[in-house]
Amino acid sequence: MSNSNNHPFQPTPTTTTTCCPIIMVMVPFTAQSHLNQALQLSFLISSYQIEVHYAASSEHNRQVKLRFNGGDRSDLSKIHFHDLPMPRYLSPLPDPNSTTKFPAHLQPSFDATLHLRHPVGTLLRQLSATARRLIVIHDTLMSFVVQDVSDIPNAESYAFRCVSVFSSCCIKSLVRGESIPPVEEFFVTNDFLRLVAAQSEFVKIKKGDIYNSCKQMESAYLDLVAKNEPNVNNKQWAIAPLINRVRIINPTFGNECLLWLEKQPPKSVIYVSFGSTISMTDEQIEALAFGLKESKQRFIWVLRDADKADIFTGEDRNLKLPKGFEESVKETGMVVRDWVPQMEILAHGSVGGFMSHCGWNSCLESLGLGVPIAAWPMHSDQPYNAVLITEILKVGVEVREWADKSEVVSSCTIKRAVEILMDSEEGEKIRKRAEELGGVLRDAAEEGGVSKMEMDSFIAHITR
């Protein structure tokens, strides 16, 4: 793929007129989970009175701002957003019948990120002229894009790792062939692996790693990473959770999910959502519908197809439920087809469980709020996250074994997982452990907590 870009780059003017001590530039990857985690980290760094710039395509800036939740929307005005020119690309629609659940339809947009090298380089050189030091924080999948940082004398870069440390260790172990991880494959496509390979030469430029994790949750794996990193100058900081509190739940906010939750008993509702990259077959949707109904547990189900490459264009797939389903569960269940405020839902006192694909962003949001997980991984790092949740942290239940990933999960299997999590003695123990872990994670982000001290250490390092 060519590294050139046919579109002239005109960076968004900044309000900086004098030399700033520190300017930070965030360069996120284009997947929704990565965009969101980068934005939350931007808010956190901005709270230290550091000028923060967020550089992505106009479509992805619009997307991440539209879907922002779990805080005050006025925070968006504190970030300088830069709309980078990205070449047009043709992207197929999500294919629910694909042999792999990996969102291969997004690959053209993933590949298009390689064209951002020159626009990003131009932006970095412009901003470096107005700062004593320019700090670039980039997604690991954008290492190629930020390579010009090595040519800017007052700039340095740090990789932001949006996956669990456990999954990172497992994947590296799998690649090296040193041991057998709990899941013996990294479930992505060859095209995606080629994109990953394009980053490898430029990873060494970074001065350190920022992990969206917490030492009190993944200390053993952080130690393992440090042990296997031969570069003594490569520092690491674990700073999760990025969000320590959400705005006070207020049913007058107007969201139908929150209004419905206000009417439900405490800890009685299981929230069902599979993120932004999952497409389910009609057969699987039907099995999930019957499984939820037969469990006789209250639920909110976000029924959406995977994101298109550009979420603002084209029609969405019409996802069909069994005839009469919504009417038959109207007293105990709610089906939502729009984007929802996930953090506010998970924080609500009526929610007692989360059926999830185990994307790391969703895992951290759920565990940080003390909500246990019914783990149903689909692709990429998700199977490793599921192992971490169910077998190591023991704050969740397995919906189905990863070895059966190509099969439709039956309604009785779904029913059993929901019942165990929400209405059993085993589930009660799991919920108690999840609540305890939630308290640990929230305390970690408070003054004097381990993650707050890690973040303070990072800020002290870049402002040295």
Beta bridge partners of 353: 270
Distance, in Å, from the CA atom of 464 to the CA atom of 453, rounded to the nearest integer, reads: 16
- Three-state DSSP string of 362-423: HHHHHHHCCCCEEECCCCECHHHHHHHHHHHCCCEEECCCHHHCCCCCCHHHHHHHHHHHHC
**Which listed residue (83, 139, 307, 381) is catalytic?**
139
Contact 156, 136 (CB under 8 A): yes
Using CA atoms, how far apart are residues 235 and 22, in angstroms rounded to an integer? 19
| Residue length of the chain | 464
Q: Kindly list the strands in the beta sheet with 51-57, ordered across the sheet, starting from the edge strand earlier in the chain.
A: 79-84, 51-57, 20-27, 131-139, 155-161, 208-211, 235-238
Whether residue 139 lies in the annotated active site:
yes
Terminus-to-terminus CA distance in the chain, angstroms? 39
Alpha-carbon dihedral sign for residues 404, 406, 410, 414: positive
One-letter amino acid for residue 442 of the chain:
R
Whole-number Å distance between alpha carbons of 187 and 189? 7
Rounded Cα–Cα distance for residues 302 and 292 (Å) = 13
Q: At what angle do helices 32-46 and 360-368 cross, to 10 degrees?
A: 50
Tokens at residue 93, please?
């629609």
Judge whether 95 and 279 are in contact, CB under 8 Å: yes
Catalytic residue among 34, 60, 80, 138: 34
What is the crossing angle of helices 215-228 and 450-462, to 10°?
A: 50
Report the DSSP beta bridge partners of residue 20.
131
Q: What is the largest CA-CA distance in the chain?
A: 65
Cβ-based burial of 419 (10 A; exposed 0-12, middle 13-18, buried ≥19): middle
- Residues with active-site annotation: 34, 139
